[in-house]
């Protein structure tokens, strides 16, 4: 119970929100070998984190990146992951200096809406600049984040037990691409812990590691927590 009392309010439902359901993060590790200027072998390791989604009947990879910066305040004022999607068709972006496309969403609790996604760095993608999309770690003046919005709803009511997010993207050809995913599989927490344990957010990573190991019965904490609107 002492550990439960010390648990920050913004983390106390983590065990309820992240579970064995949802899209599991897959880790792809590659070992690279090269030779330096002195003829010595240099071995480096590269990692790729992704999950599988269905895109128009084809299984595709969606890349996941964890953001450890302390300024982001992971799991308090942000959902510290970005999901990166690449499509095989051009989305219906406006052909301006900063391309924009209108994306519709449906959250696991039934909330629906739409938001404008801006491609703020189109030059990095070259000729494929109209085929890329990624979620933000938080909703702000820079854009709406469906993953952050779903996380906030689960923080208010973890009994929803459905973190599925559906997104509909209009394409240049006139059709729509519908994708759905659930970023609340416990492997996402494991990814954050592994990636952030040596960063400026290491204390949060260590706290999360303990929380996931405790198996806390959060129902016992309800009477101890203030009625706070997240």
pLDDT tens-digit map of 156-173 = 887 766 899 999 999 999
Strands 176-181 and 165-170 come out as antiparallel
Q: Is 2 a residue whose pLDDT tops 70?
A: no
Radius of gyration of the chain (CA): 20
Four-residue CA torsion sign, 139, 145, 147, 149: positive
- The mean pLDDT of 10-29, rounded to a whole number, is 88
Do residues 10 and 76 make contact, with C-beta atoms less than 8 angstroms apart?
Answer: yes
pLDDT at 51: 97
What does the DSSP 8-state code read for residue 158?
Answer: G
Q: Is residue 39 part of a domain?
A: no
Q: Is 214 a residue whose pLDDT tops 60?
A: no
Per-residue pLDDT tens over the stretch 91-146: 999 988 889 999 999 999 999 999 999 988 877 788 888 999 999 999 887 789 99
pLDDT at 206: 84
Q: Is residue 167 part of a domain?
A: yes
How is residue 225 written in tokens? Answer: 């927590």
Mean model confidence pLDDT for the chain: 85
Q: Is residue 29 part of a domain?
A: no
Q: Is residue 89 part of a domain?
A: yes
pTM value is: 0.83
**Domain hosting residue 126, numbered range:** 2-23+56-219
Q: Is residue 45 part of a domain?
A: no
pLDDT at 126: 83
Q: Is residue 48 part of a domain?
A: no
Nearest to 10 by CA among 200, 207, 155: 155
- The mean pLDDT of 27-47, rounded to a whole number, is 92
Nearest to 112 by CA among 144, 89, 68: 144
Q: Is 229 a residue whose pLDDT tops 60?
A: no
Provide the pLDDT confidence category of residue 3 given band limits of 50, 70 and 90. Answer: very low
Do residues 195 and 139 make contact, with C-beta atoms less than 8 angstroms apart?
Answer: no
**Domain total for the chain?**
1
Q: Is residue 196 part of a domain?
A: yes
Q: Is residue 228 part of a domain?
A: no
């Amino acid at each position: 119970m002492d550990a439960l009392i010390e648990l920050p309010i913004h983390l106390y439902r983590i065990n309820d929100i992240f579970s064995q359901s949802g899209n599991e993060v897959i880790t792809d590790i590659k070992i690279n070998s090269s030779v330096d200027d002195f003829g010595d072998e240099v071995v480096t390791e590269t990692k790729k984190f992704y999950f599988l989604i269905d895109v128009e009947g084809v299984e595709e990879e969606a890349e996941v990146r964890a953001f450890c910066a302390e300024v982001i305040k992971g799991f308090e004022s942000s959902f510290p992951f970005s999901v990166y999607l690449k499509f095989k068709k051009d989305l219906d972006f406006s052909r301006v200096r900063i391309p924009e496309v209108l994306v519709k969403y449906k959250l696991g609790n039934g909330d629906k809406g739409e938001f404008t996604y801006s491609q703020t760095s189109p030059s990095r993608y070259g000729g494929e600049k109209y085929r890329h999309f990624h979620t933000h770690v938080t909703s702000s003046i820079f854009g709406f984040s469906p993953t952050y919005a779903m996380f906030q709803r689960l923080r208010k009511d973890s009994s929803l037990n459905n973190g599925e997010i559906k997104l509909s993207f209009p394409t240049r050809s006139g059709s729509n691409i519908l994708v759905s995913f659930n970023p609340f599989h416990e492997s996402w927490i494991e990814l954050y812990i592994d990636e952030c344990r040596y960063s400026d957010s290491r204390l949060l990573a260590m706290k999360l590691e303990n929380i996931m190991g405790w198996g806390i019965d959060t129902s016992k904490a309800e009477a101890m927590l203030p009625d706070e609107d997240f």
